[in-house]
Structure 1
Amino acid sequence: MLVTVAFAQTGKITGKVTDKKTGETLIGLSVKLDGSAKGASTDVSGNYALTGLAPGKYTIVFSYIGYQPKRITDVDVQNGKPAIVNVVMEDAPSQRLAEVVITATARQESVNSLYAAQKNRAVISDGISSDQITRSPDKSTGEVLKRVSGTTIQDNKFVIVRGLGDRYNNARLDNASLPSTEANRKAFSFDIVPSNLVDNIVISKTATPDLPGDFAGGSVQIITRDIPAQNFFTVSLGAGYNSQSTFKDFYYGPRYLSDYFAFNTERQLPTTGFPKNTSQTLSLTQEQSTAAIKKLPGVWNIGNSLAAPSQNHQLSLGRVKDFNNGGRFGVIASLTYRNSQTTVPDAERTYLFYDYDDRVNQFSTAIGALANLSYTKGKNKFSFKNLYNRILEDRFTYRVGSDFTRSSDLQYYAFDMLQKGLLKTSVEGEHTLGANKNRFTWNLAYSNVINNQPDQRKIGYQRTITDRDNPEVPYLASVLSINKENNRLFSDLKENIYNGGLNYQVPLKISSQPATLKLGAGTQYRTRDFAARLLGSVLNGFDEDVQTRPINTLYGKDLVNANYYRLDEITSLTDSYDANSLTSFGYAMLDNKLANKLRVVWGLRAENFNLKLNSFRTSGEPLNVERNDLDLLPSANFTYALTPKSNLRASYYRTLARPEFTELAPFAYYDYEVLAVRQGNENLKSTNIDNADLRYELYPGTGQVFSVSAFYKHFNNAIEPSIDDVNSTPTISYYNTKQAVNYGAELEFRHTLGFLKDNSESLNNTTIYVNGAYIKSKVNNPANAGYLRDNRPMVGQSPYTINAGLQYNAFQNALNLSVLYNRIGKRITSVGGQRLENVWENPRNVLDFQANYRVIKGKGQIKLNVSDILNNQSLFYFDYDGNGKYTPLQSAPADPNIRQDEVFSRFKRGVDASLSFSYNF
């Protein structure tokens, strides 16, 4: 028994060793306990581990050929808890200096390591670590990204960097490029990736040749967790409350048990005994039509209950094993479950000839799983990383109001389920070769994305406005035909992505200065299949008794069995397409010193892009879209070390933006929320972008930073959304504007408040941070097209963004308090045309709070999150008076031709509060 207890009470020292000048990890470096024979060597990632240590304080010594030895004191090892000591090594310029041993404490060396990591990046970048993520109330990566300097988020999903919309940014997960997750836009939905699975997020705002070239705002790299520092098993349970939803009326369509697990199998289009296309549907006899209608899901009932509290649960497991041969194996696995029921009780749309009020009820479920396995030994490391996430959103919208073009009052019902999923698996290798320590890395990855709408159902009831005050005149259901507003839509998108890449890195000496030559090549192959069908049940002739039925009996079995309805379909050949693309790349990059303090990372990336898309035109002719482009993308990043703690950076680089499949496809999707049709443009060209950046950055202390940046971007053939609003239903498509510019400045500041008063523990434990951006852009609308405005900012570009926060730690970091603030300037969300102005999103103040408290000897954690405390309304409006802000209508203008500001959409989402408890076994 005594032997078992003594063995259990052990700890270890672990960390990473890097080169101070280059930031590169050092491989095969010797790590020893001072006064002991116990030691270890760093692996291919620069990591080391000294295990089986009794609790107490230690001194460790680091030594490596060509570097000055380093002695780290006061390393505190505790029972069952790793002491993490990251070390930075310095060159030994002479034999005499090599004999000098640098001595530092563990705390001092951690600060030194942080400086090196931040200062040695080749590109201008901003990011956020897992430690910062845990101190925010953010549940998904989409919510986390709004904390990063110069970054804003639309719908908590889609990233905007430096004022450039989602189509001008790319996403990578564990070094593999991610595709668009959306059927009707180029965008990656970052809410797919739960925040608690993330180790860090880095947004590269300038380019190097080893980065994908298809971005202008930022390249978002998400790194999931890898080999853990220690074994753990954590259970987290959480529940939440929304001020305008929870325990209030919640309306919904039919609910199935599988919905709670993000899988719905009850609403799919029948596969047997059902017509396969429009031609077959239109040729059915009445008896066949009735039989086909019976096979469709019977899903018209509207349920009513009190909205349940939200749920957020997670199981996490980490295991690490150190082998006697120096090998190390680690596993991290996680299961995540989220569910919420939210209501927007009064979403207003009052513009042009619409006067609508929407009640929107949304049931959401997300499940996620992560399993990462890594093995490292000496000069080799292998990783197998897997991520799966699936989201189900079931939205029921009830709309009332008036459409003056039809002189009608309206009651409108929309049942809209969306299922999105991402499966990604990758294998990575990292190897050091030869005495020269050349480095070879490779990766293979497969991703699968689904996005489907199983049985989106829309039906309206109408009554003429002149009969509004006559109770004898009922609303009549629009069941005499199907059209874009009244139908059942079944759509299915599947995409497969295959990635592979090789990188080879060679250390060199150029003019007696260290340098690195990096070469690489790789490819990405994508395939997409998309198909949609639009059909519905049509009444066989006018029948007021039927058309006045409530929605739950409008398509009742008694009517279907009595042959009151026939199946109709308006699916056209343009409603499906298949596409594939092959992007191959190669690059050469040199990282070298031009002087002792001047570093330049420069080179050339070549990308060859081939795309094929097959569909049909509205005339029925086959449509074959092909692109074959070779792009040469030079870049140069200069870094001048003004002091050991500060840099001056300058960059030039060329990037591009390619049309996405959906932007080229002819499929026309009616978006009932925005009352417009979205459609692609087969003639789109790729965008070429020239970029320039300048930045000063200072790192005064641990976790402290001050930086100021300026940037300029010039676009040729910029891809922008356009609107054709001549007809009663506008069509949103895309076009190439000849030129556009985007420029601005960014500032970031993070510092403890200890400078306000010496030796104040509370101020030293309080950190304030502010980051913000000022951005301008200009796009000229097509000339002689009748647009209401000649020029405008780019879509999604805010003139300013502000993020601020205050964080406080107490009781030896057992208590953490955070207050976070976010605000963005007004931005265009939809481009106006000849009748409609641009749609602007009004600024709103977002204030969040979090309190963390560790209990039960640090193994338990209680977390309180409160999001959007101020609950400012979301307002989207048409700025017809041109004064740069929303001006409420005071009275009817004297001149009827003068239009005043109108509301495209106005609503509140409520305050969210959640409480969770986690325990680490």
Structure 2
Amino acid sequence: MINKTSLSKLLITFLFFLGLSNAVLAQHGTIKGKITDAKTKEALIGASVLIEGTTNGAAADLDGGFVIANISPGNYILKATYIGYTSFVIENVLVEDGKETILHLEMQTDDIGLDEVVVVATPRKESERILLMDQKGATVIRESVGAKQLSMQGVSDAATATGKITGVVRSETSGDVYVRGLGDRYLSTTMNGLPIPSDDVDKKNIDLGLFDTSVIQNIGISKTYDPESYIDQTAGNINIVSKEFIEQFSIGLQGGFNSSVNPNNVFGNFKASPNLANSTATFYSRKYNLLDAMTRQSWDPAKGNAPLDYGISTIGGYEFKLFENPLSLFYTLSYKKDYNYTQGVYRRFNSNVLYSEFLDTESWTSNETLTGLVNLAYRFHQNHKINYNFLLVGKLRDNVYEQGRNGEGYKLDMDEISNSFFARDMNLKTTQLMVNQLLGNHRIADNQTLQWGLGYNTVAADEPNRIRNYTGFHNNGLYFSYRIADFENRKSSQEIDDNEINGYLKDRIAFRVKDNDWHANIGVNYRHKTRDFHSQFVGADLRGTTTQAADVDNLSGIFTSESFTADKIKTLPEDVYNASLSALAGFVSLEFDFGKLDGNAALRYERNTIEVDWDINNDDPLREPSISRTYNELYPSINLKYELTDRHNLRLSASKTLTLPEFKEIAPFAYTSPNSTLIQGTPELKASENYNLDAKWEYYKSNDELISVAAFYKNIQDPINITSLTGGAGYLIYANTGEEANVFGIEAEARLNLYKSDNNELRLILNGTRMWLKQDLLEGYRYKDKTTSGLQGASEFITNASLQYENKKHRWQASISGNYSSDKIYALGSPKDATNRTIYYNDEIIEKGFATLDAVISKDITDRLSIKLLGRNLLNPQIELTQNVKDLNTEQETNYIVDSYKKGIKLQLSVNYTF
């Protein structure tokens, strides 16, 4: 928690940097200009400009432009270099206080023939222009958003960034990212082309919100299958390209608040779990084991003051010489903490009968994120480059959830003598994730390049001491119902340890066919991932116990060593499962070029083996507690691109992919959410085979403008969905709910400059997706007259819009961004009685559509000091889950809200200072 002393220190630090900027920062100037070929006048992308005698320099962008900022006044010698061109030197370049020195450098080719020179242009893929050029030339249908665009739109993490791409939406309920209507299980996530692990037992993919934009160069989504990557990516692959060398050192501070914690009754009494006191900067130190914690650690929430958001970040880069070759170091480190409070309702129905109802749900959440990235890049002999990336992500989420404090909470199974029911869940989750990557790129001949990568990843995701309480109110006191099981008042722990080794090797060979460049790619991929899962419950048997006072904030006074005799504390055997995934693949692809028509045709062989064994309480005793499945097949794909003109492309892609069930979807462990909804894996789950077809038209209006329209179709055999479990309220499972599902969609996108001059630019980005989704329900999932449904998590309509303005003269930017996604299925329905399907069923739960709006204003005060004001979730929509329920007497259906909350408006001010 932030106390007054911490706030004072933060304020003093802010004022220090602000004062320093006014005193010192204005005493610097800027050199900017453009580098072109002296004859053709074409921009020399990636040309280097350096102030001699210093390490201060820049690389030319897509237009040949460059900027070197933060230069002390004086006369300098400037040197421009580019492979295949004679070095360009300008002497006596004058830099004055607060002024810009404008230059135009025209470079001459040297005397070496082009056939003797390997030109390696590697522009930094952060600007939208360079990413559009990359997208235009790619054979697969790919879209990217770069660091500069993210900064303009006030995006702070990778999850929010993906929502700026056509056909992509993030579910506010689950946190999953959906691409073209398909969610977590249909996606894959990589960093620099290598797989990265999930931080959550409930997810296949890592929480993209953990990736601060300070580590991101760009984010790309390949919506059609790339044969060089793993086959388990029907909706596409999200690839995070991490940042490399930047010659700078900067520090940033940020502060803000969430409107949801502003009211007096929340701001001064923000609740936290007792565990939070044992944590520091996302790291948790366990003080007691579970058995000792029953009596030695509090059962009541702690209280804190001033729940204000804050953060600090630093970025630095240096370049050295090692054996006369450049060795660069780049690092970024950031720590952020934010708070959120929600209130709403929670209902669950079973067979069209109300099972539980709470009209006063409350949730207090604090989130901490620590992100660090180190990149080492070494280039030698011009043709060889080795990269090492180390990523550390620490995440801590502390949550207190309550329902029924108002004395009106209802549960169908509570004793008749109870007036109402109260429940509280307090949990601290920690995640420590480490990614190690070693990447190599070697030009071993003029026509041959060898690329390789090795990765080693670890995840430790723990819930060290989760505290849950259930009690009833009776006669102004508390009553622990006889219908409450031994482990409903409990403390529990959960530990997940994941380890993964992965790698690839690819040989790329170029050759000429009738004056056109063709390429053959041959390679292998390998990954081996393991998971060890442990869960332990220690419960208090208080059945029939009563108290004189109804004080749910003093349960520690009841749960004492004196009241807990040996027979009152019970320990369940551990729930355990161990799992592994081994994947070995080989591929061959041919990239062909017939002039206006190019593309690739590929064949991939991949063998995937999944093994899971478990020892879980309450599992079916007749079921073998292990599975082993192997998926072994050839997967063809083809991607075609036809260049109608220099600015118009037509694309066509077809592929076959596979959707593997995840460990958590197979292991029959039932995880309880804070609001008491349970979700459990299904060992009988099948993999889904998928057939994909895509067509797209692109019009590149200019170097940074694009208009496109795409159509896509997917056929999914044995689709996997979340559905309600027959016979249980609030109980969800993973299941193959249909024989097949069909997805058809249309996408449209426009990136346009509404106005552009030397100093002003007004830009519009608009995209939308319309989808039609249908799956045929298996007999076991049909009820009333429902034989088909949509797909769980898929919205039929998605749109994103962003309006951006930049004033270059006065150095400020502003943007406003909005998103809308229509209704989506949160969980499919199911019958509860095979012979009375028209009466006894649970209908599907729908997450209602809503719109979001973000705005950001940023200003460069000087060459070194910048500020940014960000407003997020400005519309603050009510997020609702609804369900149709039939009255068993009148047979009339009523639509009920079964879950609702608001996230609040977040306002944030950040200050960045570059040394």
Residue number in structure 1 paired with 2:148: 131
CA deviation after TM superposition for structure 1 residue 457, in Å: 1.3
1:189 aligns with 2:168: no
Which of the residues 761, 766, 791 maps onto 2:762?
Answer: 766
Range 183-192 or range 700-709, more displaced: 183-192
Q: Give 2:410's aligned residue.
A: 402
SS in structure 2 of the partner of residue 139 of structure 1: coil
Write the distance in 2 (CA, Å) between the matches of 1:843 and 1:258. Answer: 39
Among 469, 475, 492, the residue aligned to 2:478: 475
User: 1:114 touches 1:703 (CA, 8 Å); kept in 2?
Assistant: no
Q: Name the SS of the counterpart of 1:663 in structure 2.
A: helix
Q: Secondary structure at the match of 2:664?
A: helix
Cα distance, 1:913 vs structure 2: 0.3
Q: 1:486 to 1:15 in 2, by over 3 A?
A: farther
The aligned counterpart of 2:393 is 389
- Within 5 A, what are the aligned runs for 1:371-390? 371-377=374-380, 378-390=382-394
Correspondent of 1:527 among 526, 530, 534:
530
Shift of 1:643: 1.1
Supply the distance in 1 between the matched residues of 2:528 and 2:92 (Cα, whole angstroms). 50
Matched, 1:726 2:730: no
> Does the 8 Å contact 1:199/1:224 carry over to 2?
yes
Compared with structure 1, are the counterparts of its residues 488 and 113 closer, same or farther at alpha carbon in structure 2 (3 Å cutoff)? closer
* AA aligned opposite 1:403: K
* Distance in 2, Cα, partners of 1:114 & 1:718: 34
Q: Which moved more, 1:564-573 or 1:335-344?
A: 564-573
Distance in 2, matches of 1:76 and 1:819, equals 43
Note the C-alpha offset of 1:60: 6.9
Find 2:191's aligned residue among 173, 176, 184: 173
Distance 1:75 1:119 in 2: 39
1:254 is aligned, of 274, 281, 286, to: 274
Deviates most, 51-60 or 600-609: 51-60
Specify the alignment match of 2:423 in structure 1: 412
Deviation of 1:196 (Å): 1.9
* Deviation for aligned residue 1:672: 4.0
CA distance in structure 2 between the partners assigned to 1:125 and 1:586 by the alignment:
23
Amino acid at match of 2:689: N
Alignment of 1:134-153 (within 5 A): 134-153=151-170
Match of 1:450 in 2: 460
Asked whether 1:216 is paired with 2:216, we answer no
How far 1:743 moved relative to its partner?
Answer: 1.3
| CA distance in structure 2 between the partners assigned to 1:77 and 1:904 by the alignment | 68
* Cα RMSD, aligned residues only: 4.0
Tell me what 1:245 maps to: 261
What aligned pairs does 1:465-864 form with structure 2 within 5 A after superposition? 472-478=475-481, 482-483=485-486, 485-539=488-542, 542-545=544-547, 548=549, 550-556=551-557, 559-561=560-562, 563-564=564-565, 566-569=567-570, 571=572, 575-593=575-593, 595-616=594-615, 617-619=619-621, 623-673=625-675, 675-735=676-736, 737-754=738-755, 765-788=761-784, 789-812=786-809, 814-834=811-831, 835-856=841-862, 858-864=863-869
In the TM superposition, what is the alpha-carbon distance from 1:527 to its structure 2 partner? 0.8
Q: Aligned equivalents of 2:758 and 2:713: distance in 1?
A: 43
1:87–1:480 Cα change, 3 Å = farther
1:265 matched to 2:285? The reply is yes
Q: Cα–Cα, structure 1 residues 50 and 812, in superposed 2: closer, same or farther, change >3 Å?
A: closer
Residues 580/232 of structure 1: CA separation in 2 closer, same or farther (3 Å cut)? same
Structure 1 residue 536: Cα displacement:
1.3
Residue matched to 2:135: 118
Kindly indicate whether the alpha-carbon contact (under 8 Å) linking 1:795 and 1:828 is maintained by their aligned counterparts in 2: yes
Query: Aligned AA for 1:645?
Result: R
1:420 Cα deviation from its structure 2 partner: 2.0
Q: Distance in 2 between matches of 1:154 and 1:117?
A: 29
Match of 1:422 among 430, 433, 450: 433
- Alignment match, 2:182: 164
In structure 2, C-alpha distance between the alignment counterparts of 1:791 and 1:85, rounded to whole Å: 65
Tell me the residue number matched to 1:280.
none
Measure the CA separation in 2 of the matches of 1:848 and 1:111: 20
1:331, 1:374 within 8 Å by CA — same for their partners in 2?
yes
For 2:220, the equivalent position in structure 1 comes to: 202
Residue 442 (structure 2) aligned to one of 431, 436, 449: 431
How big is the shift at 1:606? 1.1
Cα 1:544–1:427 change in 2 (3 A) is same
Deviation by residue 1:470-495 (Cα, 9 ceiling, x = unmatched): xx453313589645643322111110
Partners of 1:74 and 1:569 lie apart in 2 by 81
Equivalent position amino acid for 1:342 in 2: N
CA distance, structure 2, for counterparts of residue 685 and residue 863 of structure 1: 49
1:852 to 1:385, Cα distance in 2 relative to 1, 3 A: same
Q: Which amino acid aligns with 1:702?
A: N
Q: TM-score, normalised by structure 1?
A: 0.82
2:471 aligned to 455, 461, 464, which one?
461
CA gap 1:49/1:845 in 2 versus in 1, 3 angstroms: closer
Cα shift at 1:565? 6.0
Q: Does the CA-based 8 Å contact 2:480-2:544 persist in structure 1?
A: no
Q: What's the CA shift string for 1:681-740, capped at 9, x where partnerless?
A: 111221111101000111122321111100000111222222214234534232253111
Match of 1:871 in 2: 876
Match of 2:244 among 226, 231, 234: 226
Mapped to 2, the partners of 1:178 and 1:82 lie a distance apart of: 45
Structure 1 unaligned segments of length 5 or more: list them: 1-7, 34-39, 64-68, 100-105, 271-291, 465-471, 882-892
Residue 913, structure 1, aligned to residue 911, structure 2: no
2:567 aligned counterpart, secondary structure: strand
Against the structure 1 CA distance between its residues 32 and 722, is the aligned structure 2 distance closer, same or farther, given a 3 Å change threshold? closer
- Counterpart AA for 2:765: Y
- In the TM superposition, residue 679 of structure 1 has moved relative to its aligned partner by 1.4
Q: Contact conserved, 1:87 with 1:112, CA < 8 A, in 2?
A: no
Q: How does 1:290-301 map to 2 (within 5 A)?
A: 292-293=291-292, 298-301=297-300
Q: Residue 244 of structure 1: SS of its match in structure 2?
A: helix
The answer (yes or no) to whether the contact 2:367–2:398 under 8 Å persists in 1 is: yes
SS in 2 for 1:544: coil
Shift of 1:168: 0.3
**One-letter code aligned to 1:640:** Y
Alpha-carbon contact 2:856-2:869 (below 8 Å) kept: yes
CA contact (8 A) 1:841 1:875 kept: yes
Unaligned runs of 5+ in 2: 1-27, 51-56, 117-122, 832-840
Partner of 2:327: 329
**1:537 to 1:613, Cα distance in 2 relative to 1, 3 A:** same
In structure 2, relative to structure 1, the CA distance for the partners of 1:345 and 1:641 (3 Å cut) is same
The SS at the match of 1:206 is: coil
Shifted more, 410-419 versus 185-194: the winner is: 185-194
Q: Distance in 2 between matches of 1:852 and 1:647?
A: 36
Contact 2:169 2:177 in 1 (8 A): yes
Structure 2 residue identity aligned to 1:379: N
- Measured after TM superposition, the shift of residue 221 of structure 1 is 0.2
Q: Deviations over 1:97-117 (max 9, x none)?
A: 999xxxxxx9xxx99966642
Give me the whole-angstrom Cα distance separating, in 2, the residues matched to 1:138 and 1:82: 32
Q: Quote how far apart the aligned CAs of 1:163 are.
A: 0.4
The TM-score, its normalising length taken from structure 2, stands at: 0.82
Partner-residue secondary structure (3-state), 1:212:
coil
